[in-house]
């Protein structure tokens, strides 16, 4: 089953390999992937992103595209049989500092949208891979969201992508007596 580590590794790896992002972990001025844990509650999500931005303000690359990876939240469904499904919503934002003109903002929004779809295609390939399908993972293409965002802080604009994915969670709900004292 997909977990936060695998989910983070997926998007981080795409940020490392994308030619316009080129995230280099641990290299000053080359950090172009940031992870933020946000609540599914809309008010808490806004507060979490504001807090994240205030803490990350000095580390955001002003002249480079970067990815802000959003944690996923999960809603479980009992299918009425022996199967439980985990419906998850995750996402990321592709951001860049914009020139303070309409044209500057439009250029950043156009480019972040294009890069975001390229990253989303990589996420989709992960879910469509035979190993992902065998694991019961499925990306819900009807639940995709792409939304322009900004300004954040010092003229950062970008595109936020959210996507839904589903997988079996039956194993998580299977009682294992060996995990408990008698």
User: Taking the model in full, what pTM does it have?
Assistant: 0.84
How far from 23 is each of 8, 37, 83, 181, CA to CA, in Å? Answer: 14, 19, 39, 46
**The pLDDT value given to residue 137:** 82
Domain extents for the chain? 4-172
Residue 182 has pLDDT above 80, yes or no: yes
pLDDT tens-digit series, residues 35-67 = 887 766 666 666 666 666 665 566 666 678 989
Span 20-28, average pLDDT: 76
**The pLDDT value given to residue 110:** 97
CB atoms within 10 A of CB 138: 16
**The pLDDT value given to residue 52:** 66
Cα atoms in the 13 Å half-sphere on the side-chain side of 128: 8
pLDDT tens-digit series, residues 65-110 = 989 888 888 888 887 778 888 888 999 999 998 888 889 999 999 9
């Amino acid at each position: 089953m997909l977990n936060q580590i695998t989910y983070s590794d997926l998007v981080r790896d795409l940020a490392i390999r994308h030619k316009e992002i080129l995230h280099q972990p641990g290299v000053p001025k080359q950090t172009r992937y940031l992870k933020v844990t946000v609540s599914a509650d809309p008010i808490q999500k806004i507060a979490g992103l504001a807090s994240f931005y205030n803490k990350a303000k000095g580390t955001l690359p002003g002249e480079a595209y970067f990815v802000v990876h959003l944690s996923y939240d999960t809603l479980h469904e009992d299918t009425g049989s022996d199967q439980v499904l985990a419906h998850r919503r995750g996402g990321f934002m592709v951001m860049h500092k914009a020139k303070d003109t309409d044209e500057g903002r439009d250029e950043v929004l156009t480019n972040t949208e294009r890069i975001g779809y390229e990253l989303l295609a990589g996420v989709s390939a992960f879910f469509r891979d035979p190993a992902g399908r065998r694991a019961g993972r499925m990306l819900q293409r009807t639940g995709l969201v792409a939304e322009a965002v900004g300004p954040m802080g010092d003229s950062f604009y970008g595109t936020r992508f959210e996507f839904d994915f589903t997988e079996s969670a039956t194993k998580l709900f299977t009682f294992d007596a060996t995990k408990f004292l008698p």
